[in-house]
Amino acid sequence: MKERNLLLVIFAALVLTIGGYLAATQLHLMPVEASTRAVLVDRLFQLLLGITAFIFLLVEGALLYAALRFRRRPGDESDAVPVHGNNALEILWTLIPTAVVLFVGVYSVQVLQDIERPLGNTMVVEVVGRQFSWEFRYPSADVTTSELHLPVGRPVLFQISSKDVIHSFWVPAFRAKRDATPGQISELRITPSLVGRFPIRCAELCGPGHAGMINEVVVEEEVAFTGWLEAAKAGAKEPAAIMTQFGCVACHTLTAVGSTGQVGPVLDGIGAQAGSRVPGLSAHDYIVQSITDPGAYVVQPFVDGLMPRDFKIRLSDEQLQILVEFLLGQ
């Protein structure tokens, strides 16, 4: 009998160990790893998954065994055998979870220190969230764009902030997310490790255009990144680039730039309609007013307050003029 029980214990231990190992190594629930940070985070996640699977199988197995072994048989009217506790068992099932929690805690702190450690040759990228677009600034190159490009293998420090409400900058493939809070700069360190295009999402409900606040990060070789940076400088005065940079394409539909936003009025044909919108305002003045003072006249059925009111400050006179002339031609 003792040998049989010993064999059952050994068998159960093997099942639990194999189950935990398979959960830790064979269940791949995360997206592609595109940064060095992602590798460390996934390693921690898989460890936690393996420990969780082991404990789940242990508890559910013991529960199933107890339900079958000690169930009440038909015709059995006797009282159960009283049990007064087992000090050794209670100490054991207190020490083991304590040891597991301490181990996971120490390992988690080590992972956090590794992913947040400053590295040399770090490139700074300022990330600004607005309703409903992301803006990326490269201070060292004096470039501002709505496209995020990064060189593979080079450490990046994101300095994340918001100009209106709370947003959340999230790149799933990097295993990285930080809130963008008005009046506060949050830092996030990343080293891209895989060339490709990866989605950017806002993970904080930030208003009616939240679902359209999507973008991509393009990770490329250093030479390609340098070329893109130079092209971004040269194309900064193109109408489509201005509309993309300042988030117009996230809220408006305009065929000429390929935008399909639904938060604000459709801009197709705006050049022909602008002169008849507000009595006494020319088409030119109406478009200028709509950009710099959007609350002065609101196209129905849209409501006031959706469009940012700071374009008069953010847009240079040259950019505003380029944008107005472009829209007059639509």
Q: How confident is the model at residue 39 (pLDDT cuts 50, 70, 90)?
A: very high
What does the alpha-carbon distance between residue 265 and residue 274 come to, in Å, rounded to a whole number? Answer: 12
Cα–Cα distance between 18 and 53 in angstroms, integer?
A: 10
Multiple choice CATH, 123-234, 3.40.50.970, 2.60.40.420, 3.40.50.720, 3.40.50.200: 2.60.40.420
pTM of the model: 0.72
What is the CB neighbour count within 10 angstroms for residue 51? 16
Find the Cα–Cα–Cα–Cα dihedral 237, 239, 243, 249, rounded to 10°.
-150
Q: Which residue has the higher pLDDT, 20 or 116?
A: 116
| Mean pLDDT of the region 154-177 | 94
pLDDT of residue 9: 65
Q: Which of 4-13, 152-161, 257-266, 296-305 has the highest mean pLDDT?
A: 152-161
- Percentage of the chain with pLDDT > 90? 33
pLDDT at 179 over 80: yes
Query: How far is 312 from 282, CA to CA, in rounded Å?
Result: 19
Give the model confidence (pLDDT) of 241-260 as tens digits. 778 777 787 788 888 888 88
Q: Using H for helix, E for strand and C for coil, what is the string for the chain?
A: CHHHHHHHHHHHHHHHHHHHHHHHHHCCCCCCCCEHHHHHHHHHHHHHHHHHHHHHHHHHHHHHHHHHHCCCCCCCCCCCCCCCCCHHHHHHHHHHHHHHHHHHHHHHHHHHHHHHCCCCCCEEEEEEEECCEEEEEECCCCEEECCEEEECCCCEEEEEEECCCCEEEEEHHHCEEEEECECCCEEEEECECCCEEEEEEECCCCCCCHHHCEEEEEEECHHHHHHHHHHHHHCCCCHHHHHHHCCHHHHCEEHHHCEECCCCCCCCCHHHHHHHCCCCCCHHHHHHHHHHCCCCCCCCCCCCCCCCCCHHHHCCHHHHHHHHHHHHCC
Q: Kindly report the backbone phi and psi dihedral angles of residue 169, in degrees, each rounded to the nearest multiple of 5, phi listed first.
A: -85, 115
- In this structure, are residues 201 and 220 in contact, taking their beta carbons and an 8 Å threshold? no
What pLDDT does 200 receive?
94
pLDDT, position 251:
82
In CATH terms, 239-328 corresponds, of 1.10.760.10, 3.10.129.10, 1.10.1040.10, 3.40.50.150, to 1.10.760.10
Class of residue 30 by CB neighbours under 10 A (exposed 0-12, middle 13-18, buried 19+): middle
Q: How confident is the model at residue 40 (pLDDT cuts 50, 70, 90)?
A: very high
What is the chain's mean pLDDT, rounded? 85
Rounded to an integer, the average pLDDT of 308-317 is: 78
Segment of 122-131, 210-219, 275-284 carrying the highest mean pLDDT? 122-131
pLDDT in tens, 60-91: 888 888 888 888 888 888 887 777 778 888 89
